[in-house]
Chain A
Amino acid sequence: DSGVTQTPKHLITATGQRVTLRCSPRSGDLSVYWYQQSLDQGLQFLIQYYNGEERAKGNILERFSAQQFPDLHSELNLSSLELGDSALYFCASSVDGRPNNEQFFGPGTRLTVL
């Protein structure tokens, strides 16, 4: 158990819909990362937050957005869903976001868009 929790574990929805994925980082970790893993792909970095503020954006679509709340949990919002958005979405947290600080990953949310 990494200490990072993600809800829900599974999500099935239809094209055009909007969903929210939730992540609670490890106690004491200030930085949260979101990654997407599509079929046969590595983990693609989406976005990083540090202590409530956006630190970096990766390959995140404009239909996607995220935020980190004062209690440090984070939410990833996916809207106008398309079939290609079906993937595993991982959240990771680290102490302060520096590269030599290990990122701890949650178990992921599997999103299926029908």
Chain B
Amino acid sequence: LAKTTQPISMDSYEGQEVNITCSHNNIATNDYITWYQQFPSQGPRFIIQGYKTKVTNEVASLFIPADRKSSTLSLPRVSLSDTAVYYCLVGPNDYKLSFGAGTTVTVRA
């Protein structure tokens, strides 16, 4: 499974856009990029998944450049409730997930 690198932590303020970039230089042809969110004492929650270009849903956008060696999760207008750990995962779409340490995003008032 491809290794990912993402910042350990990020701070933001309510109403701002948060962009988390993940590096995955060894991504394979059949790998997808998936992001999960996790609050303390809860299971991870699926946010978004993409293969290439841009994907948008009601929660976030995922930007993937043509070489697919990195990706950026964009959270628009964050609120205090978006404070969580965000995980970037790369791998086949129907296989075990390989989590790193994630990025702890702290949103302040």
Q: Is B a genuine binding partner of A?
A: no
